[in-house]
Structure 1
């Protein structure tokens, strides 16, 4: 079991709110399916079970913080290309979002997601230096770290 899969099991997803105040169990399942996907098509199906549930357009829900934690952790271990791209795309949307007007969403959810992502900043920079430069740089831009990443890329 990889790092992200272990992390998935330590979070009580049933206590976290998603869209329409649904609990986060569906997000846990979708993340597990995404990380284990054996094709781009299965990754895309899992992706859409996360989008419009953990976040919708630019509205973040409570479960987005835990989702961010698992997505960042997933960059630590080897993954198929299509999984890494989906992970970076989900991070892009989450980190670019804002608290939904739902009463169950903490008003500082954006800041919480950013703080979680910053814990894995080096993983995002590694992605920018590696094969997924453009996608990782877009995520880093939401964190205000695109310039630093470019400096590291130029050093390489």
Structure 2
């Protein structure tokens, strides 16, 4: 049993607006397909782009997707799935509510997403230390409320990367 699948079951996705114009009822099946994929071909038609966000414009399903992604990042994932989830998280913390969401009374979805990432901040720090460093640091720049921790961590990671490359 995967923690992300358990997290998916906590929410009534059908009651949430999706970026494709339908309800979010289909979002769990896309997540599940991504979590089960072992080849890139198995992900075709199952990305979350255009559903949770579209061109960094966020929809009601976005803050609910964050804990699912964080739970997924605790698992062994193929690099292309992990990369998709990290890229999506980056859009969720740097984006803003789509105008339809603002009109529906949800003007701060990015704030909700950042707060949700904050609950799993050390997963993103782990990615910055040993995974997709650049994307993780981009996420942390927006999501970590402790700016001094972030700046310290970024300077250490940057120095370590330069040391490995032999440049100073």
- Superposed CA RMSD in Å reads 2.1
In the other structure, the counterpart of 2:114 is: 114
Larger CA deviation: 91-100 vs 121-130: 91-100
Q: Which has the higher contact order (CA 8 A, sep 6+)?
A: 1
Give the conservation status (yes or no) of the 8 Å contact 2:16–2:24.
yes
Q: How many residues align?
A: 154
Contact 1:60 1:100 in 2 (8 A): yes
Q: Equivalent of 1:100, from 98, 101, 105? A: 98
Partner of 2:153: 149
Query: Residues of 2 paired with 1:149 and 1:25: CA distance?
Result: 39
With normalisation by structure 2, the TM-score equals: 0.81
Structure number, greater radius of gyration: 2
Q: SS of the residue aligned with 2:51?
A: coil
Q: 1:60 to 1:35 in 2, by over 3 A?
A: same
C-alpha deviations, 1:14-39, integer Å up to 9, x for none? 11111264211121111111111111
1:132/1:88 CA distance change after superposition, 3 Å: same
Q: C-alpha distance in 2, partners of 1:98/1:61?
A: 9
* Counterpart position of 1:70: 68
Whole-angstrom distance in 1 between the partners of 2:116 and 2:25: 20
Matches within 5 A, 1:13-32: 13-19=13-19, 21-32=21-32
| TM-score, structure 1 normalization | 0.87
- Point out where structure 2 has 5 or more consecutive residues left out of the alignment: 161-168
